[in-house]
Amino acid sequence: MRRQRALILNCILLCMILGALFLVPALGSPIRYRHLDGVEAARLKDSCSEAAEPFFAELLFSGEKLPFDRNTSTFYLPLDMEQEKWETGELASGLGDVRLLFEEEFTRTSKQEAIREGKAFRFYAVRGTEYQECYLLITGLPILSIETTETADTGVFGGTLCYWDARSKRDWTGSNILEAHIRGNTSRTYPKKGYKLSLKTQNKKGEVVPDKKPLFGLRTDDEWILNAMYSDSSKIRDKLSVDLWNGYGSRVSEFPEAKFGSDLVYVELFFNQEYWGLYGLMEPVDSKQLDLAKEEEGEAAEYSYKAVGLQGGDADRLKDASPLERSLAGFSLKGNHDSNEAASWEPLISYLSLRDQEDDEAFAQEAPLLMDTEGALNAWIHFQAVLGIDNRAKNMYYVAKRSHESYRIYFAPWDMDLTWGDALSEKDPAELKGEADETVWDVGMNTALYSERINWEPGDRLVALDVEDARSRVEEKWRTLREGVFSDESLTGHVDRLAHELQDSGALARDALRWPDSNYGEDYERFKRMALYRMRILDYYFDGNLEAYLGLGYQ
């Protein structure tokens, strides 16, 4: 009996060992697919003819349909560009009567090189006696795909949004009902549009409701921004500036759940089965991001105002002005507030009254009560460091939150593509074609900015009047930042990481091919040299020479 038990146990152990020997290689094997050698490929073309019309658009990876560019019959597979090893999975046809034959064993090549160089691996989709020549391209970035009956130039549209992550193959893909519209002011005149996305789903009652998703490591939400980054030749200005701000300015200890800023992740976009290029997926600076209190929650409502243009108009006159007049004064009320209600504008008008205060002593006394002076100084330092010329009169949220039973204004910069020396310039009229949607602006490097002050009124006046020791606070903060996110090593390393992500994912080159008239071709080494030059300029002025710095100013 004991011998029988021992024999059974030994057999079980042997089976487990053999099973492990067979199972581990299977689990660790690279992508599975059928490939042809040269002789088989020639035989295929002899026995089959190329299809007159494309018939194959359903390539699956581990059972999930991949995004597809119908113009080139190219399928895109997002994989982790930081890992040398190929992921595991299987490439298969989504059509039962179609078999796939790859021309080469691409998983024997370097995965990272294939991603970096944008190699397109040819394969054949065979149905009966005809075949379609297709390609598989590996990208290092996540992918979004919009499917709609409308065109990319339609102002408002609905459809479907699908997404694929590159970093993981667990819960790496999904889809949603989509509502979207074109966004931006100057940017909406470019051929490559930016979009506001709203994710929806259908509940059990058949109602279409918001559907919050945590896309690519960003916040869990149903509202998203797609930033086209068309005019930025580097494609890193916005993300670099956002990341730096998040390193020291977007959090306020008094409001730990609020974030006075955004985040950006690079993605590639498809629109109606066409490759549409490189985009930045961003969190909107909205009520959720800012953790604004709602009146129905038993608290006083909190408000957000977006600067949309040159701020003008007397604050006292705005108290009795119409919503249109208030918007014309350079601000837009955000969120679900009634712009006709004077109460919705009162916190901003109080701040504007402070802005218009002619008595410097009164301003110095009132400023700490009506605005977050630390946040204002942080924003002022930020605009000096990144050369945020487009955030002086717009692209800034003025956020009214309750602090000690009264409203104070907090600051959240937004849309920082015109930074690091880039500036708008008016086109030569001779270059204009007279088209309705044509932009009259060019964007390019203005090196003169690197030795100028970026004037931003709240910060300028705090520093000029030395409100609450603003000058020593600026100098101390700058010393801290130069040892942290703005140190030479940290700043240049940050630029290198972003350039690596764009170049070595293959996305930067693809975007340039897709949009040849856009700005591209930034010299990242020059970018770093100019950034360090700006740091040296500020090192001088922010070390006992702020009075002289205030005498500078970019107009």
pLDDT at residue 431, rounded to an integer: 58
Kindly state whether residue 115 falls inside one of the protein's structural domains: yes
Has residue 67 been placed in a domain?
yes
Dist. CA 304–CA 397, nearest whole Å: 6
At 385 the pLDDT is 98
Task: Look at residue 118 and tell me if it is in a domain.
Answer: yes
H or E element, residue 137 = strand 130-139
- Cβ neighbours of residue 373 closer than 8 Å, sequence gap 6 or more: 367, 462, 467, 468, 470
Could you tell me the residue range of the domain that residue 107 belongs to?
38-139
Question: Do 232 and 420 touch, CB atoms closer than 8 A?
Answer: no
Please give the single-letter amino acid code of residue 504.
D
DSSP assignment of 50-118: E-SS-----EEETTEEPPEETTTTEEEEE--TT-SSPPP-BEEESSTT-EEEESS-GGGS-HHHHHHHT
Q: What is the pLDDT of residue 246?
A: 98
Q: What does the angle CA 130 – CA 133 – CA 138 come to, to the nearest 5 degrees?
A: 145
Strand partners, 68: 75
For residue 73, the model assigns a pLDDT of 98
Q: Are 287 and 235 in contact (CB under 8 A)?
A: no
In the prediction, which pLDDT does 239 show? 98
Return the structure tokens found at 149. 């009956």
Alpha helices in 247-336 (DSSP H): 287-290, 315-318, 323-328
* Ramachandran assignment for 423, one of left (phi > 0), alpha (psi -120 to 50 degrees), beta (any other): beta
Residue 178 included in any domain: no
- Please, are residues 35 and 104 in contact by the beta-carbon 8 Å criterion? yes
Q: Is 277:192 a contact under the CB 8 Å cutoff? A: yes
Supply φ then ψ for residue 444, to 5 degrees.
Answer: -165, 175
| pLDDT tens across the length of the chain (555 residues) | 555 555 454 544 434 433 433 333 334 348 999 988 777 878 888 889 999 999 999 999 999 999 999 999 999 999 999 999 999 999 999 999 999 999 999 999 999 999 999 999 999 999 999 999 999 999 999 999 999 999 999 999 999 999 999 988 888 999 999 999 999 777 788 899 999 999 999 999 999 999 999 999 999 999 999 999 999 999 999 999 999 999 999 999 999 999 999 999 999 999 999 999 999 999 999 999 999 998 776 678 999 999 987 666 666 666 666 665 666 578 888 988 877 777 888 999 999 999 999 999 999 999 999 999 999 999 999 999 999 999 998 899 999 999 988 999 999 999 999 999 988 766 555 555 555 555 556 787 888 899 999 999 999 999 999 999 999 999 999 999 999 999 999 999 999 999 999 999 999 999 999 999 998 888 999 999 999 999 999 999 999 999 999 999 875
Spatial separation of the C-alpha atoms in residues 178 and 148, rounded to whole Å: 9
Domain total for the chain? Answer: 1
* Site of tokens 């970018």: 527
Contact 362, 232 (CB under 8 A): no
Q: Hey, what are 473's tokens?
A: 């606070």
Extract long-range pairs of 485-489: CB within 8 Å, 24+ residues apart: 485/244, 485/247, 485/248, 486/244, 486/385, 486/535, 488/532, 488/535
- At 543, the amino acid letter reads D
- Identify the pLDDT of residue 115: 98
Quickly list DSSP for 531-548. HHHHHHHHHHHTTT-HHH
As a whole number of angstroms, the distance between CA 417 and CA 539 comes to 24
Q: Is residue 56 part of a domain?
A: yes
Task: Report yes or no: 270 and 69 within 8 Å, Cβ to Cβ.
Answer: yes
Integer Cα distance of 139 and 269 in angstroms = 12
Query: Does any domain span residue 94?
Result: yes
- Phi, psi of 545, deg, nearest 5: -125, 30
42 is a domain residue? yes
Kindly give the pairing relationship between strand 130-139 and strand 143-147: unpaired
The reply to whether 85 falls in a domain is yes
